[in-house]
A and B are shown apart, each in its own frame.
Chain A
Amino acid sequence: MNSTGFLYAAYIATWLIHGLYLASIVRRYSRLRQRMKELGKGE
């Protein structure tokens, strides 16, 4: 891999980590809202 390849790899890895973390927040949030609805305490 050349210099530019390593640069792209680092930038892609950064956004992949942020993307996965944000997706986990969205998933947890949806699950909790669903649970609140089940408990009859919608936000």
Chain B
Amino acid sequence: MKRSFPIFAVITAILLAYAFYEAIWVAPMERTMGDVQRIFYYHVPSAWTAFLLFFVNLVASVIYLVRRNPRADAVALVSAEVGVVFCTIVLVTGPIWARPVWGIWWTWDIRLTTTLVLWLIYVSYLVLRRFSDSSQTPKLAAVLAIFGALDVPLVYFSIWFFRTQHPQPVIGGGGSIDQRMLHVLLINWLAFSCLALAICWARYRLELLQREVEEVESLESLRGVPQ
């Protein structure tokens, strides 16, 4: 397991470099937006990856509530934290794309607002995990995670059911996409998913180590050994 991580990290780095090359030099230029449309190759895969991580968080939280498995709790925490990182990227790259295309950085459109609410819910989740010392914290956090996950389909389907300024979905929605662009989009999604997995892997090991240190510290304090 320890050996496979560096190999996976190298494969991920190569895939990310290739995906970057495809996004900048291979994907055809969009006629009306020009180069700024290429932000789409980072924005959309980051959003899909964030949704995937919040789904993992939901599943791990339910498993924790049912079985009280501490490893499921660790997976829930890790997936929420990495999901917030990807969701932050969505919220940063979206306005950078919107400024030249819409002429504004932000609008209180249903898609944008629900995404911001989603981000705030998971930031609250992380704040709860970070600053609450109660033994009930994992249980409360798991319940909050279930409520947070309810916002994910709302974000995704908001542009289907409401009039919105946000572009229509390119897959399974009203929008359409050039096949070469779709190919580049999927390569970038694969690369970002591998990056997310590698980060989660590293963060999970960190979480286990953190719990081990806390356990040793509490044992030491029980024994009264000076620290």
Residue ranges of A at the interface with B (Cβ–Cβ < 8 Å): 1, 3-4, 6-7, 9-11, 13-14, 17-18, 21-22, 25, 28-29, 32-33, 35-36, 38-39, 41, 43
Contact = CB atoms under 8 A, between A and B. Distances in A.
B89 A3 contact: no
Interface of B: 20, 33-36, 38-39, 42-43, 46, 85, 88-89, 92-93, 96-97, 99-100, 195, 199, 202-203, 205-206, 209-210, 212-213, 216-217, 220, 227
Contacts, number: 78
Contact of A6 (B39, B46, B89, B212): B39
Contacts of A33: 209
For the complex, would chain A's binding face be called helix, strand, loop or mixed by DSSP majority?
Answer: helix
Contact of A13 (B34, B89, B205, B216): B89
Given A4-B36, A6-B96, 12 more contacts: A3-B100, A6-B97, A6-B99, A6-B100, A7-B38, A10-B39, A10-B93, A13-B96, A17-B89, A18-B85, A18-B89, A29-B206
Contact of B35 (A4, A18, A29, A43): A4
Contacts of B195: 18
